[in-house]
């Protein structure tokens, strides 16, 4: 059986665009998660999410691994981008869409190579 830390590393490694949030993209359970997921959805790319309210072990462990105490947390290509304030600032200045689209394009290219 894998540990919580191993599960988190696997999730981050397997999902080029991943948000750890309270609730789901369709039903966020906090205002910060709602704002962050809306900014992410506006980029028009698919992303994965983990509802930390359903995963108390991840909710407890991830801040230690990420060295980031709050949620939501946006991870792109294995790197922590940040929480709500950082994501919203990036969204407003156009950086978020560029980052997300580039990550999605690389992931799609890798997937195409794997299927070739």
Strand pairing class (17-21; 48-51): parallel
Query: Taking CA 54 as the corner, what is the angle to CA 2 and CA 79, rounded to the nearest 5 degrees?
Result: 65
Among residues 85, 97, 104, which one has the least CA distance to residue 35? 85
Annotated binding site for [2Fe-2S] cluster: 30
Residue stretches of the annotated binding site: 22, 30, 59, 71, 84-85
**Residues marked as binding for glutathione?**
22, 59, 71, 84-85
């Amino acid at each position: 059986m894998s540990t919580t830390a191993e599960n988190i590393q696997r999730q981050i490694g397997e999902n080029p665009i991943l948000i750890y949030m309270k609730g789901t993209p369709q039903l966020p359970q906090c205002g910060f998660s709602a704002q962050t997921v809306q900014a992410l959805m506006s980029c028009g790319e698919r992303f994965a999410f983990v509802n930390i309210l359903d995963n108390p072990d991840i909710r407890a462990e991830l801040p230690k691994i990420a060295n980031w105490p709050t949620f939501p947390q946006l991870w792109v290509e294995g790197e922590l981008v940040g929480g709500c304030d950082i994501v919203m600032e990036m969204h407003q200045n156009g950086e978020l869409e560029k980052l997300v689209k580039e990550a999605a394009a690389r992931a799609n290219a890798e997937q195409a190579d794997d299927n070739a």
